[in-house]
Structure 1
């Protein structure tokens, strides 16, 4: 699960320093849930690529309702 750190964690994780506050990292779901529960991290909403919307159909030109004199 992708998380964003809300705090600066002391020490290391698997021999590497924890990401700084505001940075993101990928951790196992159970670890992420624990960090989120303790307020040390928040889940990152992953952007889902939306399907492109179809182009709008060409609309017919509006005819004027005014009489031309």
Structure 2
């Protein structure tokens, strides 16, 4: 079976990451990195506001 470049079509419960092309996986990886970055930028200021600067630094490092 050739590698897939998209997820167009009906739901396939047996589909795995190994079924996708390297190009698609690279795109997904960048999307996941961006999502994590945005969560950090939104969440960490709230940690600083509610818990203080030391907590902000600790959470930033632990992440």
Same fold by TM-score, threshold 0.5 exceeded?
A: no
Larger radius of gyration: 1
- Structure number with the higher strand fraction is 1
TM-score relative to the length of structure 2: 0.29
TM-score relative to the length of structure 1: 0.27
Identify which of structures 1 and 2 has the higher relative contact order when contacts are C-alpha pairs closer than 8 Å and 6+ apart: 1
